[in-house]
A and B are shown apart, each in its own frame.
Chain A
Amino acid sequence: MKPLQLPVFLLRITRSQGILRRYFVVNGFDGALTMLGLITGFLVSGSTELGVVINVCLGAAIALAVSGVSSAYVSETAERLRALKQLEAAMITDLQDSAHGKAVRWVPVLIALVNGSAPLVISLLILTPLWLADAGLVLPLAPLLNAIVVALMLVFLLGVYLGRVAGISWLRSGVRTLALALLTTGLIYLLADS
């Protein structure tokens, strides 16, 4: 079996593709909304040094990534072990050397990587306008507004992806997640003390 075929095979026999998709969307959404919340908070607060905004957001992104990796690894390892023991009981045999045994070792790693990288990658994409502005590049909007626009676009794209997974209208699904992001921004504007 080719190296790239193995992870796909292991995910298929453990029927984990759905879990992987769910983790990607859930934690990706977490990352996007966390960045959106932080940046909107900074925007409401008035003038803040760009370096501070970047460091705070980067800190949150790294924390989300580490939390995503560790929590998914621990919980998925427990779930996979439980499933293997049930299967071993039904088969009345040891499956440690089989594909199912391999899956117990590798599927939690794959899921943890996706769960951790989703919020990190999305957060880094949202922070890109801030880095560009910090590097001296002139952006069409203010850096924080640009980052908010990127965040809204990514949230919309996550909705589009969910729509395609569910086989429903991608536009409706995208608009729904976008509405949630706008609601979050609106709540911060309403409740934050400027």
Chain B
Amino acid sequence: MTCVTRILLDVLKPHHPSCLELARAIAAIGEDYRVRLTVNEMDEKTETIQIEVSGQAVDFDAVQAAIKAMGGALHSIDAVDVRGSSAGQAQGGAGGSGT
């Protein structure tokens, strides 16, 4: 049994809903979720953002569904932290796992 404790996502989203609304929608999925959202690039209709979600057990599918529901498109998983239940904590940094 493993638990994802942190994921770093590269996402393209429209200007609306705002970053605040998207971050709130993701944070609402889990009680202990912490969401850090950084805007990397702004275009005429879209913005490229980096979303970092951390928690005791991050539900990636739910996070992805929330991003899609808010009009965002997940481009890649840039980093993940996964904890193994028996081995204590195992960390992994995955660069550019395209979806």
Flag if A90 contacts B71 (CB, 8 Å): no
CA distance A65 to B69 in the complex (A): 34
| Chain B stretch 19-76: residues in CB contact (< 8 A) with chain A | 21, 43-46, 68-73
Flag if A93 contacts B14 (CB, 8 Å): no
Task: Let me know if B96 is at the binding interface, CB within 8 A.
Answer: no
Interface residues on B, range: 10 to 19
Residues of B within 8 A of A12 (CB): 16-17
> How many residues of A are in contact with the other chain, CB < 8 A?
16
Task: Let me know if A87 is at the binding interface, CB within 8 A.
Answer: yes
Task: Let me know if A98 is at the binding interface, CB within 8 A.
Answer: yes
Partner of A86, one of B17, B43, B45: B45
Query: Residue-by-residue, is A96-138 near B (CB-CB < 8 Å gives 1, otherwise 0)?
Result: 0111100000000000000000000000000000000000000
Flag if A97 contacts B68 (CB, 8 Å): yes
Given A90-B44, A93-B73, A9 contacting B68 (CB threshold 8 A): no
Task: Let me know if B12 is at the binding interface, CB within 8 A.
Answer: yes
Residues of B within 8 A of A187 (CB): none
CA distance A92 to B69 in the complex (A): 16
Given A97-B69, A98-B70, A99-B71, A91 contacting B16 (CB threshold 8 A): no
Chain B: residues with CB nearer than 8 A to chain A? 12-14, 16-17, 21, 43-46, 68-73
A-B complex: 4 closest residue pairs judged by Cβ atoms: A90-B45, A98-B71, A13-B16, A93-B73
